[in-house]
């Protein structure tokens, strides 16, 4: 029953259960209440009315902007989606294959007062991006206000051993996908004369890494593209920034041998891996905070100091 339908049926119900005929005044009240309830799709039996708690909790309304988070079902993407959901945003949780994980993120977002929808789409293709934005438009009438390009993959190997497919798959998702999604968002945001695009890059895009020529090329391209797009879109009120995470805690880092972890830690001044929430916090700031409106075209490291001097 709708929260506005108070428990006026309580006394009538108990009387019906005791087989006491209702008075004419009670009959009139029951009829009026029945019309109100039926208008909302509820029904009740011939002898008694449906009774709900007087303390029914009203449904919380998501008041934040529509935010698309690519690769939002797991790891860093999940943390970003939840951070935005906590701020009552309407979050599109994009995923490639993890449907159950994406739906769980949506449930958590709704429990925090936001709204969400899980959308399967291959962000490495233009068709996939079109599907993603179409599903978003079908879910909410208001335009996309925030785009977080987080989806990414790795196909690590040395240059001499790298197959064309290993190169192309990483470039498609990590670079081309960012372009396709940003281009789609740009058309919407320029018309609205506002919007925020946040691209998740990597410190590897700043200084390279052995066995990651494809990944470094893609992330370096994202950083350069961020600066170019910021120059193009600034006059229309759209900000474009990138975030370059360092080593962030994940299922993958949890399985690294201790000797490798120790070797990495020696190069991190803060002496630890970062946490997904620490990256998500910066995304939330760039996406929602009014004071971030004068920040555009920058790539900010969240890396514990491993890439000091590259900003």
Question: For residues 51 and 9, is the Cβ–Cβ distance under 8 A?
Answer: yes
Question: For residues 190 and 234, is the Cβ–Cβ distance under 8 A?
Answer: no
Can 42 be counted among the known catalytic residues?
Answer: no
**DSSP 8-state secondary structure symbol assigned to residue 272:** S
Length of the chain as a residue count: 311
Q: Of the residues 95, 215, 285, 294, which is catalytic?
A: 215
What one-character-per-residue DSSP string does 276-296 give? Answer: HHHHHHHHHHHHH-GGGGG--
- The token pair at 174 is 């990590």
Distance (Å, whole) CA 198 – CA 146? 8
Collect all residues with Cβ–Cβ distance below 8 Å to 11 and sequence separation of at least 6.
none
Going by C-alpha positions, the residue among 53, 56, 5 that lies closest to residue 33 is 5
- The token pair at 294 is 């004068």
Distance (Å, whole) CA 295 – CA 282? 12
Bridge partners of residue 179, in order along the sequence: none
User: Could you give the residue numbers annotated as active site?
Assistant: 215
């Amino acid at each position: 029953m709708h929260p506005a339908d108070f428990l006026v049926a309580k006394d009538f119900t108990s009387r019906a259960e005791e087989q006491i005929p209702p008075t004419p005044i009670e009959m009139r009240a029951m009829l009026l209440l029945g019309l109100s309830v039926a208008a909302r799709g509820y029904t009740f039996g011939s002898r008694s009315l449906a009774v709900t708690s007087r303390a029914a909790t009203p449904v919380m309304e998501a008041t934040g902007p529509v935010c698309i988070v690519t690769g939002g079902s797991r790891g860093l993407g999940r943390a970003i989606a939840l951070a935005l959901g906590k701020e009552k945003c309407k979050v599109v949780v994009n995923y490639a294959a993890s449907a159950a994980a994406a739906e769980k993120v949506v449930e958590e977002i709704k429990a925090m007062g936001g709204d969400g929808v899980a959308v399967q789409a291959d962000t490495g293709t233009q068709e996939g991006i079109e599907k993603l934005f179409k599903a978003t438009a079908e879910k909410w009438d208001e335009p996309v206000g925030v785009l977080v390009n987080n989806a990414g993959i790795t196909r690590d190997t040395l240059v001499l051993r790298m197959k064309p497919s290993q190169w192309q798959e990483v470039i498609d998702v990590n670079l081309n996908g960012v372009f396709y999604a940003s281009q789609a968002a740009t058309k919407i945001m320029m018309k609205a004369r506002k919007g925020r695009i946040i691209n998740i890059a990597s410190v590897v895009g700043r200084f390279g890494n052995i066995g990651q020529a494809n990944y470094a090329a893609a992330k370096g391209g994202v950083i350069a593209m961020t600066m170019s797009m910021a120059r193009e879109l600034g006059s229309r009120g759209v900000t474009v920034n990138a975030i370059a995470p360092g080593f962030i805690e994940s299922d993958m880092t949890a399985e690294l041998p201790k000797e490798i972890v120790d070797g990495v830690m020696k190069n991190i001044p803060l002496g630890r891996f970062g946490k997904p929430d620490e990256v998500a916090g910066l995304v939330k700031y760039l996406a929602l905070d009014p004071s971030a409106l004068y920040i555009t075209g920058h790539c900010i490291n969240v890396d514990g100091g491993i890439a000091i001097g590259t900003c």
